[in-house]
Structure 1
Amino acid sequence: MEVAACKRSLSRRASSSSFRLRSPSLNSVRLRRVFDIFDKNHDGMITVQEIHHALARLGLETDLCHLESTIESFINPANIGLTYDGFVALHQSLDQTFFGLDLEEEDESDLTEAFKVFDEDGDGFISAQELQAVLWKLGLPEGKEIGRVEQMICSVDQNHDGRVDFFEFKHMMQSVLVRTS
């Protein structure tokens, strides 16, 4: 049933899904949503602790000192955290570093680690249920609606099997990010 729904969904939206994933204005909206999710106290800034907490909820253990040293150059000295503009600059820097035009082996390794966050059962695929669980952990409203999650899966499911494999995930990651070059 999931595969049939995916095929129907894709046939209706095939021409728009590519635009949706590559549209800089929509990526900007998505980036703003991520910022707002990380900004738990809604003060217009994301502290290193808020980022650390969000990563921990995803099961990504980070060294707080290392995270702070990575982010501190994007924080205005007069602020206690990243403003939205600083967050965008950080995102662009990470985009350039990890998702440049040529993926190096170490970048592929980073993508593999990111994929594993979503592939909770380790079967090599991201199912709608696994994506929903991660979205739920992040506190995203999509985590409550399996139908919306299935649409998200369908938007990147190139072989129409109702789940996302590593190559589809890699293609999605390369397509979604706003190029900085």
Structure 2
Amino acid sequence: MEASQCKGSLSTRASSSSFRLRCPSLNSLRLRRVFDIFDKNHDGILTVQEIHQALSRLGLETDLCHLHSTIKAFINPGDTGLTYHGFVSLHQSLDRTFFGLDLEEEEEDESDLTEAFKVFDEDGDGFISAQELQAVLGKLGMAEGKEIGRVEQMICSVDQNHDGRVDFFEFKHMMQSVVVRSS
């Protein structure tokens, strides 16, 4: 079964195209970083189990069978999982599948930003605290999540009203400045 036939197994709806990484150099760097974070044993191969665990830690529950059927076409014969090249090919295929149609971008952008914000706002109070950010970074296995001082610096760099937390509007502003939009 090809990835395009299983798109519903990874997402209930197509995500906003604003989250596509349209700058090739940024895309490559970010994809490499994601690959390395997901590759828990650092063997250069992403197994279906590693991908499943990473998605679960992000709160994106997937069916292991559907996930395997989605990515198996990108696994080289004889390999136990995705190489970085296969991971890039999978990303490109999912990008075409989910972002091929031009949807009502403004509404979709806002909805996707809200969902992304909720991943970090674990207690649902409308703010991302340093502790919540640290918890999410820790779940992702990122080194930045091990030191609260570094996490607090990250919060301060986005915290426009200096209240020590990130609200949705600060998060949205930060995301809009990070996302490279095409004209």
TM-score range, shorter chain: 0.5 to 0.7
Q: Which SS does the other structure have where 1:150 is aligned? A: helix
Aligned to 1:61: 61
Displacement of 1:76 after TM fit? 3.8
Matched with 2:138 is 136
Letter in 2 for 1:44: G
Relative to the length of structure 1, the TM-score reads 0.66
Residue 107 to residue 32, structure 1, CA distance change in 2 (3 Å): same
User: What is the CA–CA distance in structure 2 between the aligned matches of 1:108 and 1:62, rounded to whole Å?
Assistant: 24
- Normalised TM-score (structure 2): 0.66
Unmatched segments (≥5 aa) in structure 1:
1-22
Q: 104, 107, 131: which one pairs with 1:105? A: 107
Kept after mapping to 2: 8 A contact 1:116/1:122: yes
How big is the shift at 1:106? Answer: 4.4
Cα displacement (A) at 1:132 = 0.3
Q: How many residues align?
A: 160
**Aligned runs of 1:38-117 on 2, under 5 Å?**
38-92=38-92, 97=98, 103=105, 105-106=107-108, 108-117=110-119
Q: CA-to-partner distance for each residue in 1:89-138, whole Å, 9 max, x for gaps?
A: 4445556746x896353454343222212101101111111000111122
- Map of 1:166 onto structure 2: 168
2:27 and 2:158 mapped to 1: Cα distance? 15
How many Å separate the matches in 1 of 2:172 and 2:73? 28
Q: Calculate percent identity across the aligned residue pairs.
A: 85
- Separation (CA, whole Å) in 1 of partners of 2:182 and 2:94: 10
Deviating more after overlay: 140-149 vs 32-41? 32-41
3-state SS, counterpart of residue 60 of structure 1 = coil
- Which ranges of structure 2 fall in alignment gaps of 5 or more residues? 1-22
Distance 1:85 1:53 in 2: 20
CA distance in 2, matches of 1:109, 1:67: 24
Contact 1:27–1:178 at 8 Å: present in 2 too?
A: no
Q: For the Cα contact (< 8 Å) 1:95–1:180, is it kept in 2?
A: no
Q: Deviations over 1:25-52 (max 9, x none)?
A: 5664443232112112222111221011
Query: By percentage of residues, which structure has more helix?
Result: 1
